[in-house]
Amino acid sequence: MPKYDYDLFTIGAGSGGVRASRFSANFGARVAVAEERFMGGTCVNVGCIPKKLFAYASHFSEDFENAAGFGWSIGERKFDWPTLVENKNKEIERLNGIYERLLNAAKVEIFKARARVVDPHTIEVAGKRVTAEHILVATGGWPVVPDIPGKELAITSNEAFFLEKLPGKILIVGGGYIAVEFAGIFGGLGVDVVQLYRGPVFLRGFDDDVRHFLADEMRKKGIDLRFNHNVDCIERSGDKLCAILDSGLEVKVDAVMYCTGRAPNSRGIGLEEAGVELGADGAIKVDDYFQTSVPSIYAIGDVIDRMQLTPVALAEGMAVANTLFNGKRTKMDYANVASAVFSNPNVASVGLTETQAREKYGRVRIFTSDFKALKHTLSGSDERTFMKLVVRREDDRVLGCHMVGPDAGEIVQGMAIALKCGATKAQFDATIGIHPTAAEEFVTMRTAAPDDGEKDGKAA
Ligand code: NDP
């Protein structure tokens, strides 16, 4: 008779939790997972997937405009928001079903209920207590709205995916991934968008050239970007909302959307009572193997707040399954994790920004390219594309690769393999380009930007 009901009990069936549960079961463990909200978690239901579908929808407005230069005449254009939401919902339901079937196929027991940790080996779920040798917390995160008067009038990404009506004008607050993505989505769908960011330029943490370039492109597309601004309070004003800014300025809109970060879902599930240590921001503290301060309890994904990215949570889930049930103690390598922002135009990055590289290695060589894509020679669009490579001087290794432009995520994914392999700039140069593409620019940039080392005429 086994000592515990399960070898692993996972709380949360999002990307990380499902991956860890399925693979642990495939390695022979007896696994159960509890999910109180939706199968597939944030990514599938209120994150990456519906966001990308919305981003596709929003891009058609520009595509119709751009088609004229290629000889197309397009008649009356009309966008129906309820159709988009309904079709998106159907697709998400299909994905929910797939997640459930994957778990069933791996013989993982599913509890569609909230679970709470009672002690290091006991969980309370669906009105009963069960025991497990290991508990994995993969409860993700939740949008945070700062405590300002009228905060209850604001929506977050959770609600934006289900709005009954497309607002005529929206105020988006924040300058991270979600804010710039939704500014592009709503802008493309014809909504009048004002985006506020509290600092001098949004997307803190991204390369500075990328941040400025994207801001210029978004402004060209009609987004009213206002930096160094924040909201003091939100009030109702008839059937509109009025946001009063810290400058005293009033912005009247149909909706205010807050995209000011996500907090780990770590409270109210018995973790602290069981002795699990949390950071000041509520993130669960884990070691290199995702073990918390309670040895039988592990945690992965957004709830540990290392990198809030789906593929990272998947890899962390895989690492836990390998460590616990496959005889391979597995750590994560967080170096050179690529990511994309599905703004309009897209941004994608892998490796170090110029600032990070200079801080770490001193002098670096910088290669940039800023051009109008071939398509736009006929489309009439004034959109431009930007690419940048950051190269370590001492050994020619490419440390960072950054892009703003269509399909940046698709292009930079390939570059990420090169960086992971430690490619040098000479190897980039020796790679023959695919012509005519935007991506070929990454292997044809030859002239380094002048920097302190080149002022005295030294070759780049
Ligand atoms: P981010 O942490 O990326 O950005 C939060 C933004 O809100 C920042 O600009 C921040 O400013 C600002 N902010 C924070 N607090 C306040 C405040 N009190 N008042 C005004 N502004 C504030 O969070 P998101 O919500 O955009 O996204 C959460 C995470 O989800 C991301 O970090 C990302 O990891 C992940 N994600 C990934 C996506 C992708 O891969 N494409 C897409 C969407 C989300 P400041 O910079 O000054 O701190």
Each residue of 434-450: pLDDT tens digit?
A: 999 999 999 999 999 98
Ligand 1 and 140: CB distance under 6 A: no
| Nearest-angstrom CA–CA distance, 149 and 389 | 44
| Nearest-angstrom CA–CA distance, 246 and 256 | 16
Q: What separation, in Å, do the N-terminal and C-terminal C-alpha atoms of the chain show?
A: 70
pLDDT at 56 over 80: yes
pLDDT at 454 over 80: no
Ligand 1 and 32: CB distance under 6 A: no
Report CA(341)–ligand 1 centroid distance (Å). 11
Same domain, 202 and 314: no
Ligand 1 and 198: CB distance under 6 A: yes
Q: How far is CA 106 from CA 24, 100, 141, in A?
A: 9, 10, 26
Report CA(174)–ligand 1 centroid distance (Å). 7
In a domain? residue 458? no
Q: What is residue 1's predicted lDDT score, i.e. its pLDDT? A: 82
pLDDT band of 459, cuts 50, 70, 90: very low
For the CA of 177, the nearest atom of ligand 1: 26
What sign does the CA torsion over 85, 90, 91, 92 have?
A: positive
Same domain, 12 and 123: yes
Which of 284, 303, 325 terminates a domain? The answer is 325
In a domain? residue 427? yes
- Mutation probe of ligand 1 site: the residue of 53, 260, 307, 410 with most atoms within 8 A of C-beta: 260
Percent of the chain with pLDDT over 70: 98
Same domain, 188 and 250: yes
For residue 147, count CB atoms less than 10 angstroms from its CB and return exposed for 0-12, middle for 13-18, buried for 19 or more.
Answer: exposed
Using an 8 Å Cβ cutoff, are 356 and 210 in contact?
A: no
Same domain, 436 and 370: yes
Tokens of 2: 């086994």
Q: Torsions phi, psi of 365, nearest 5? A: -100, 135
Cis peptide before 436 (omega within 30 of 0): yes
Which of 240, 260, 280 terminates a domain? The answer is 260
- Mutation probe of ligand 1 site: the residue of 177, 258, 302 with most atoms within 8 A of C-beta: 177
Same domain, 101 and 161: no
Q: Whose CA is nearest to atom 16 of ligand 1?
A: 260
- Mutation probe of ligand 1 site: the residue of 178, 312, 407 with most atoms within 8 A of C-beta: 178
Q: Whose CA is nearest to atom 22 of ligand 1?
A: 260
Using an 8 Å Cβ cutoff, are 87 and 6 in contact?
A: no
Report CA(280)–ligand 1 centroid distance (Å). 18
For the CA of 409, the nearest atom of ligand 1: 41
Q: Is 435 a catalytic residue?
A: yes
* Residue from 134, 376, 402, 435 carrying the catalytic annotation: 435
Ligand 1 and 353: CB distance under 6 A: no
pLDDT at 366 over 90: yes
Same domain, 18 and 106: yes
Q: What is residue 457's predicted lDDT score, i.e. its pLDDT? A: 38
Ligand 1 and 438: CB distance under 6 A: no
Which three-class secondary structure string do you get for the chain? CCCCCEEEEEECCEHHHHHHHHHHHHCCCCEEEECCCCCEHHHHHHCHHHHHHHHHHHHHHHHHHHHHHHCCCCCCCCCCHHHHHHHHHHHHHHHHHHHHHHHHHCCCEEECCCEEEEECCEEEECCEEEEEEEEEECCCEEECCCCCCCHHHCECHHHHCCCCCCCCEEEEECCCHHHHHHHHHHHHCCCEEEEEECCCCCCCCCCHHHHHHHHHHHHHCCCEEEECCCEEEEEEECCEEEEEECCCCEEEECEEEECCCEEECCCCCCCCCCCCCECCCCCECCCCCCECCCCCEEECHHHHCCCCCHHHHHHHHHHHHHHHHCCCCCCCCCCCCCEEECCCCCEEEEECCHHHHHHHHCCEEEEEEEECCCHHHHHCCCCCEEEEEEEECCCCEEEEEEEECCCHHHHHHHHHHHHHCCCEHHHHHHCCCCCCCCHHHHHCCCCCCCCHHHCCCCCC
Ligand 1 and 308: CB distance under 6 A: yes
Taking residues 334-350, what's their average pLDDT?
Answer: 98
pLDDT at 458 over 80: no
Q: Using alpha carbons only, how large is the chain's radius of gyration in Å?
A: 24
Taking residues 35-51, what's their average pLDDT?
Answer: 97
Which of 242, 260, 278 terminates a domain? The answer is 260
Same domain, 276 and 134: yes
Ligand 1 and 266: CB distance under 6 A: no
Per-residue pLDDT tens digits for 12-32: 999 999 999 999 999 999 999
The CATH number assigned to the domain holding 126 equals: 3.50.50.60
Report CA(202)–ligand 1 centroid distance (Å). 10
Tokens of 338: 């690529």
Q: Which domain holds residue 426?
A: 339-443
Using an 8 Å Cβ cutoff, are 66 and 375 in contact?
A: yes
In a domain? residue 417? yes
Per-residue pLDDT tens digits for 254-308: 999 999 999 999 999 999 999 999 999 999 999 999 999 999 999 999 999 799 9
Same domain, 349 and 433: yes
Same domain, 14 and 27: yes
Q: Helices 310-325 and 15-26 sit at what angle, rounded to 10 degrees?
A: 30
Q: What is residue 110's predicted lDDT score, i.e. its pLDDT? A: 98
In a domain? residue 374? yes
Using an 8 Å Cβ cutoff, are 123 and 132 in contact?
A: yes
Same domain, 278 and 319: yes
Same domain, 155 and 138: no
Q: Whose CA is nearest to atom 9 of ligand 1?
A: 175
In a domain? residue 1? no
Return the bridge partners of 130, or none: 123
Per-residue pLDDT tens digits for 145-192: 999 999 999 999 999 999 999 999 999 999 999 999 999 999 999 999
pLDDT band of 452, cuts 50, 70, 90: low
Report CA(459)–ligand 1 centroid distance (Å). 40
Tokens of 385: 């594309």
Number of folded domains that form the chain: 3
